[in-house]
Structure 1
Amino acid sequence: MTKAPAEVLRLRPVAAEDEAFLRKVYASTRATELAQVPWSAEQKAAFCDMQFTAQDTHYRANFTQAEYWVIERESVPAGRLYMERRDAEIHVIDIALLPEHQRSGFGTYLLKELMDEAAAEGKKVTIYVEKFNPALKLYQRLGYRHVEELGVYYLMEWLPAR
C-alpha cells in the first residue's frame, strides 16, 4: 500500500551542508532547457553552478523574511521549498522536486497545505512560474490564476473562498 504524502514528507530548514543537494535540484530544473544546447557536460555543470549562485544571492537579497526548506521523502532529500509569509499572502519563491519525486502527488500536497494555511488566515498564495514550466498546469488545476505577465514568467495567484 502506498503511503500518503503526510506520512512520508517532512520539511526541514536548509543547512549549510545541503548546498550540493540544492545545486542538484537547481540543475534538474534546467535539464530540459540545457539538453538543447551543444555544450559539454562540464560546461552545463559550470553554467548551472553559476546560475544557482546568482539565484540564491537574488533570493536572499530580495526575500529577507523567507523560509528555506528541504523537502524530505522518508528522510531522503527530495526537493526544496522556499517561501515568504507576508501580511496578506504566502509567496512561494520556489518549489522544486527532483525528477524521481515528481508526479507523485507530493508537490500537490505541499501546495494544498500552503493553501489551507492561507485560507485559514484569509491570505492569498502567489508564485511566479515560467511560461513553459510543466507545473503551470498543476497550478491551474489547483485554482491558481494568471494575474500578471513579467517576461518569461506568469504571476499566479490563488485566492481563498470568501
Structure 2
Amino acid sequence: MSDLQFASLELKTHSEADLPFLLQLYISVRRTEFAEANWSELQLNSFLSEQFSAQYRYYCQYYSTDRFDIVYYQNQAIGRLFVDCCLDARLDIRIVDISLLPEFRGLGLGTALFRQLLNEAKTLGASVSIHVERDNPAKVLYERLGFTLKTVTDEIYLLMEWRCD
C-alpha cells in the first residue's frame, strides 16, 4: 500500500451515532471465537451485543474518551482506535482498543495507525502500551513494531510496551 493510500486514513471522535457501527465492528471481531458454540445467529448476536454494551460502558467509565476514534479509510468507517493518555510518574499512551473490519486487516492500515501513535510518543517522550491476549495473532505485529513484554496481567492478558529510548 502506498503512502498516498495511507493518507486516506482519518480518525474522527466517535459519538453515540457511531454505536451501531461499533457494535457491527465488535461482532465482526468476536464472532469467530464463538463459532463452535453452535448458537443460532440470534443467540450469538444477542450475546455479543450484551458483551459490547458491557465493554463500552467499562471503557467510558475507566478511560478518558477524548480520543475514542472511528477509523475512516477513503471516507468509509473501517475500525476504531481508542486511546487513553496516562499522566502518572511518566507519560504513557495506552491503546485501549484497536480493531478493523475483517476486509481491512492485513493491508498495513493497522501498522500505519501504530506508526502515527509511535511518532506522537517520540515527540512527547512517552511510552505506548497495549494489553493483548497471549494467543492473539496481532502480538506478532506488536513485537515487530518494537513492543516488548512489560508484565503478565493474568492468565489471559499480557501488557506490552513500546519505549522511545
Specify if TM > 0.5. yes
Moved over 2 A (4+): 1-6
Residue in structure 2 matched with residue 90 of structure 1 by the alignment: 93
Change (3 A) 1:20 1:123: same
How many Å separate the matches in 1 of 2:111 and 2:2?
16
Residue type of the alignment partner of 1:105: G
Q: Is 2:158 aligned against 1:154?
A: yes
Residue type of the alignment partner of 1:25: L
Residue in structure 2 matched with residue 46 of structure 1 by the alignment: 46
Percent sequence identity is: 35
Residue type of the alignment partner of 1:16: E
Whether the 8 Å CA contact 2:13–2:66 is kept in 1: the answer is no
Q: Mean alpha-carbon deviation: is it higher for 30-39 or for 59-68?
A: 59-68
How many residues are matched? Answer: 161
Residue in structure 1 matched with residue 67 of structure 2 by the alignment: 67
Residue in structure 2 matched with residue 101 of structure 1 by the alignment: 104
Gap runs ≥5 in structure 2: none
1:51 CA displacement: 0.3
Gap runs ≥5 in structure 1: none
CA RMSD of aligned residues (A): 1.5
Q: Is 2:122 aligned against 1:119?
A: yes
How many Å separate the matches in 2 of 1:113 and 1:99?
21
1:86 CA displacement: 2.5
How many Å separate the matches in 1 of 2:11 and 2:64?
20
Whether the 8 Å CA contact 1:5–1:105 is kept in 2: the answer is no
